[in-house]
Every structure is written in structure tokens, then in C-alpha cells.
Structure 1
Amino acid sequence: MPGKRSSENEIRRKVERSQEQLPGSDATLSAAARAGVGQAAEATAGTGGDGHPDPGSVLDKKLAGSVNILPKASSLFFWNGEIEEATEILLLIKTKTSKVHVLSSYVRLVHPFEIPELFSLPMDQGDVHYLKWLEDSMED
């Protein structure tokens, strides 16, 4: 199929041009990602408002470059030997590895749960432009 081949070649040329725009980078993995700079942290917040991590405050404090808010997540978990159920807001927080400790402290400080849910995963691959933007957005 010549049409499809042509389209693939066009995409390949666009990727090559994007690599030229950011010297020393490749299309899917930035130096920041190779160094383990990017982290995707996940936290839950109740639906009540007060006493939960505020996504705006997380950004204002430069603890993250981006926060996705996923409302009405149904959660089931063990607490004190019993299965509990709660409706929560799920926060997907994109941050730097160097900010995870402070982010964790902030979440523990404002969260009403004795043990708030917060963990992070390294972002070891991603679009180089996005990862650079993420890193730049948290500079002081």
C-alpha cells in the first residue's frame, strides 16, 4: 500500500525534525527521564473538600507541574481488619523525583486520613517535549 508507506515516512520525518529542535534528545526519552527526574505520583482525596490535598496548592507550591483530577473514584480497602468503601477523588500528580518527599509531607500534613494514599512511579519514558515542559514548569 503506497499510501500507507508514504504516511509512515511522513511521520518518521516529523519525528526526525522534532529531534533536531531539541539537541541531544531522542523522540521518546529525555535526559531528564534517563536521570529519573520525572515521577507520576498518585494520591486520593475525599469528596468533602476540607482537609484534603488541594491540587491548586500543590501547583502553587511548585510541588508538581500538572495534576489530573479524576472525580468519584470508588475505593475498597482494608482498615482495622474490615473492608471499607469510600468515594474519593483520585489525583494523578506529575512531579520531579526531588519533589516527591516534600509532596508526601504536604499530603500527610493536610490529609485527614491517618495513612493517606500516596505513591509515585518513575516516568522513564515519554514525549521529550512534555518531559522538558514538566521539568521547566517546576523551576523556582
Structure 2
Amino acid sequence: MYYTWAYTALILGILVSVYALVRGGPAERTGAVMFLVAWLATTLVQGRKFNGIEWGIVAVDSALLVGFVFLALWSRKIWTILIAACQLNAVASHFVPLLAPKFNYVAYLTLVEFWGGYGLLLFLAIGTYSHQRELRLTKAGAAG
């Protein structure tokens, strides 16, 4: 079951990141690069067996949270606030095993992956689409 999540996230991560890098503005491209760097860093620091909280991943996710907060402050776009909120939920989800020691591994992965993976990709895609829509409306307004 874990492999289904991983492969789906891999495909969606690549597609949305390429979409943001090619069609996005400065904020979208910055968000995509931050996502990809954090994804690579997570792959490098994650353990091969689940032994509770993975502090390396917590560090990467926390750094990404700080980056998304700065991106939100810099760009002033709604989607950046939403992506920072998703990342905050992902970071908070890492600490659930401290509150519930018998917390299920699959539930833990689902929580972290939902907010820190699919949530980020959803709002990055929405932000890129919004940027493209804004460009079309600006172009239509200039032509009319």
C-alpha cells in the first residue's frame, strides 16, 4: 500500500512541478523549486524502517515551512498562504506519535503525505493555474 502512495506522489510531484516551472510566475517557480529540493532532501535523510519520529524529515519539513512562510510574505498570493498552512499541518503531524505512542504507521504516513505531499501539490497547481488565468485576463484586457 505504501508503494501506491509513493508512486502516485512521484508522478504527481513531477507533473505539477514541471507545470509550475514552465507555466508559473516567480512565486510558482520558487515554490516548485523549494518543493523539489525538500523532496530530494527527504529522500536522502529518511530511514528505511519506521522507528517513531524521523527527526531528519522533521528538520527538512520545518525548513520548508519557513521557506513557504517567507514565500507567502514576499509574494502576497493566497495560494502561498494555503501551501504554508498545509506544510504547518505536515510538521505538526510529525509529532502525533509523541501524543499517541501506539499510533499506526500507515495513519502517520497518510497524515504527513496528505498535508506535506498532496496538499502542497494541489495548491501549487492552483497557484500556477491562477497565474496563467491572470496572464490571460491581462492580455484580454490589453487587447480590448
Which of the five TM-score ranges fits, normalised by the shorter chain? under 0.3
Structure with greater helix share of residues:
2
TM-score between the two structures when normalised by the length of structure 1 = 0.26
TM-score between the two structures when normalised by the length of structure 2 = 0.25
